[in-house]
Amino acid sequence: MVAKEPYHCGYNKHSHTKGGAYTWNHPGLWWLNEVTTYPDNLAALEQGIALPYPDNRGAPVARASKRLREVGAVLQTNIAACAYFKTPQAAPCSPHRNGPLVYQQRYAAWQRGCLAAQVRLFAPTVVVFFSGPDYDSELKLEFPGPEFAPFNARPTGLLARVNWSLPIRAVRTHHPNGLQLNRFWPVVDEIVAFSEETP
């Protein structure tokens, strides 16, 4: 399950233990410098990716994650590795869409290959990109030659089968917030059915 950017998301005990249902054995990791300077950062990030999405009062992305977990384990990550803050007090925003162009270019170069490495490392049976067509250009930079083909008679801008060089089935649709807002939530059920199919 791949979304756009982490925004407010971080890894900490409050967000990920769900009242004791899960264990978090690390300090809170919210900022990039906290992740890079923490000695056990790889183990922490691996655990964070594997934990269920925090249940944020029925937020669409949490509902989509819960729906997908009905058919199997779900690993969660983002196209962008971290959010961008114009000032320490400002709300986080997309590093791909905000800030000076030179910062965007440096950020893109810095994180290039990160998402592809995660996919290859964890080798999931299905990858779901909840990123929408606006991020197709990012996926084309990250993975060699993906093509977005029609799927389930839906417009490719809404739902597309991702044909790429990896031996992993993949689809791309909009972020769950957009699916709910525009009344396309049944697309999530179609993706669940696709995930249950035998390759």
- Determine, yes or no, domain membership for 32: no
| Section 38-46 average pLDDT | 82
The predicted pLDDT at position 17 comes to 47
Which stretch of DSSP H or E encloses residue 170? strand 169-173
Q: Is residue 40 part of a domain?
A: no
How many structural domains does the chain have?
1
Task: Assess if residue 43 is contained within a domain.
Answer: no
Share above pLDDT 70 across residues of the chain, in percent, rounded to a whole number: 75
Give the structural domain span for 154: 2-9+56-196
DSSP 31: S
**Environment class of residue 114 by beta-carbon count within 10 Å: exposed (0-12), middle (13-18) or buried (19+)?**
middle
Is the model's pLDDT at 18 over the cut of 60? Answer: no
Within 8 A by CB and 6+ apart from 156, the residues are 133, 148, 149, 150
Q: Is residue 108 part of a domain?
A: yes
| Per-residue pLDDT tens digits for 115-172 | 898 899 889 999 999 999 988 988 998 998 899 999 999 999 999 999 999 999 999 9
Q: Is residue 51 part of a domain?
A: no
Full-model pTM: 0.80
pLDDT band at 72 (very low <50, low <70, confident <90, very high): confident
The reply to whether 16 falls in a domain is no
Per-residue pLDDT at 19: 45
Is 15 part of a structural domain of the chain?
A: no
Q: What is the pLDDT of residues 82-130, one digit of tens each?
A: 766 666 666 666 666 666 777 777 777 888 888 898 899 889 999 999 9
Does a structural domain hold residue 35? no
